[in-house]
Structure 1
Amino acid sequence: MPRDNMASLIQRVARQARITFRSPAGPTFGENLHRLQQLLDEVRAEDLHLAPRGPSAAAAAGGGLPWSGVVPPVSYMHICETESFSMGVFLLRSGACIPLHDHPGMNGMLKVLYGTLRIACLDTLPPAAAAPPPPAAAAAAAAGPCHRALYRSRQHYTPASPPCLLSPHTDNLHQIDAVDGPAAFLDILAPPYDPQHGRDCHYYRLLEGPLPPAGAEPPGLPREVWLMETPQAADFWCGGEPYPGPRVCF
């Protein structure tokens, strides 16, 4: 059952997010971010009136058949948005993947509500004059921009895990896979995506091959890799669903 204090908790999360990201360069940013992380760590699926879904429930919510290209592989529930941050819930169907993408100049926090996510995190690196791209990257440059990156980590996250964090310079690129069933996570981005202000979402492909499949660990992390910017994958799109949880107000 939902906890009686959940409305105040999700409201406090939103208020703390507004305080934290109102001055991300201020002297108290680290302290405020830690407080927000503590609050976010308390949130559970049932407190947002969510429950793990089977194929039939996912189809009903998505308005179509079980995920086979008719129902979107990922859905988003919008909770709130201000100039400094946005907050919502992403729901991934079983086997769904949010492809490798970036968050230009943004901070972010991700808290798993149900299911298991495998998250690969990378940093962009500045061009290195002494390190020319490998042949694969040089050949791919004709098809799209190529970038050096640091492949930092690849971990599994569950509701028992602390929030996964990203910053403008650390873990800013990530790929998110649902493992062994559907999954959902609460997501905070600060500031929100805004193409008019240079915060558009870009997608990437690892030039040395796709990120390792489930059960296979990438060798030697962290390590430098090359990425090619690509269009959004044809088999990935994000639908929308109404948010059923406690209302957030400012």
Structure 2
Amino acid sequence: MRFEGEVAAEKGRAPSKKSKRRQKKSMAAATASASAVQKLFDLCKEAFADCAPGFVPKQDDVGRLSSFLDNMKPEDVELHPNLPYFRHENSEGTPPVTYLHLYGCPKSKFSIGIFCLPQSSVIPLHNHPGMTVFSKILFGSMHVKSYDWVDTPHSSSNAAAPTDGDRLAKVKTDAVFNAPCETLILYPETGGNMHCFTGVTSCAVLDVLGPPYSAPQGRDCTYYDESPCLDLPDGMIMPGEDGRYAWLKAMNGLPDNLNLVVADYEGPKIVEK
């Protein structure tokens, strides 16, 4: 315990050179972190300036944004594996995934957020209607399984739907990604538009979505049940295509293994200019 006199005397003393150096280093680190988050916002603002459902940024903008995200680190958003978000002390049930919101609303042209996954936590299989999405794993190991819809040779709008609302999809990605790794990018129709994340270790993924989810504008998040496709129906696959397939069925409600909580983002703030 410290007494009032000691605190008053300490306040009255001029800071030492060592203390000043520490303060300068701390301020420099904070400025660097803030500039990284601000720069990300500025790049997104440029890339998604004309964003609308189905919009895909220009190739140069995709390159600049993905390259910048490739080099982002957990320190840029003041995250580290020892934070409570990444611990699951209750052995029962699915570990909660914590979402930290950096920027955006349904009326914005893009949104930025971070998902914090303890080991074995899951973000169930879901879609990204009309969106371009950049996902950067900041640290840890994460399993990603993703699908794209399969269309019949006759029409891209006539996707296979044999019974009970099932629709044929092709596996795009089924692998474990270890940070540091390249940013994952998906597009409105390709690149793994439906995906599922599982924490192999505790991990964090920074997501940029353009445009954001918006139920009133027809961009609500849909979750899916998946079942293996053992026999492909005749005529469903374009000649020369191969790979793994599954039947996906949209769920009416939320998945049982969805355990998502929202917390305040406490890292460097974004300033809209």
Which TM-score band applies after superposition, normalised by the shorter structure?
Answer: 0.7 to 0.9
Q: C-alpha offsets along residues 49-75 of structure 1, whole Å, 9 cap, x if unaligned?
A: 111137xx3488x9xx53634x86211
Q: Percent identity at matched positions?
A: 27
**Aligned mates of 2:65, 2:40 — CA distance in 1:** 6
Q: Say whether residues 1:23 and 2:50 are aligned partners.
A: yes
What residue ranges of structure 2 are gaps of 5+ in the alignment?
A: 1-25, 230-240
Which runs of structure 2 are paired with 1:107-126 in the superposition (5 Å)?
Answer: 107-126=132-151
Q: Say whether residues 1:248 and 2:270 are aligned partners.
A: yes
**Aligned mates of 1:133, 1:85 — CA distance in 2:** 31
TM-score where L is the length of structure 1: 0.80
On the 8 A contact 2:133/2:209 being kept in 1, the answer is: yes
Moved over 6 A (4+): 25-28, 128-134
Residue in structure 2 matching 1:95, options 102, 120, 127: 120
Q: C-alpha offsets along residues 167-201 of structure 1, whole Å, 9 cap, x if unaligned?
A: 0011111011100x211111111110001111011
What residue ranges of structure 1 are gaps of 5+ in the alignment?
A: 210-219
Which runs of structure 2 are paired with 1:34-53 in the superposition (5 Å)?
Answer: 34-53=63-82
Which runs of structure 2 are paired with 1:1-250 in the superposition (5 Å)?
Answer: 2=29, 4-24=31-51, 29-53=58-82, 57-58=84-85, 66=90, 68-69=92-93, 73-81=96-104, 83-126=108-151, 138=163, 141=164, 145-170=165-190, 171-179=192-200, 181-208=201-228, 222-230=243-251, 231-250=253-272
Structure number with bigger Rg: 2
**Aligned mates of 2:55, 2:213 — CA distance in 1:** 21
**Aligned mates of 2:215, 2:98 — CA distance in 1:** 21
Aligned length in residues: 226
RMSD: 3.0
Q: Aligned partner of 2:36: which letter? A: L
Taking a change above 3 Å as real, the CA distance of residues 36 and 223 of structure 1, as seen in their structure-2 partners, is same
Could you say which structure has the greater relative contact order, defined with CA pairs below 8 angstroms and 6 or more residues apart? 1
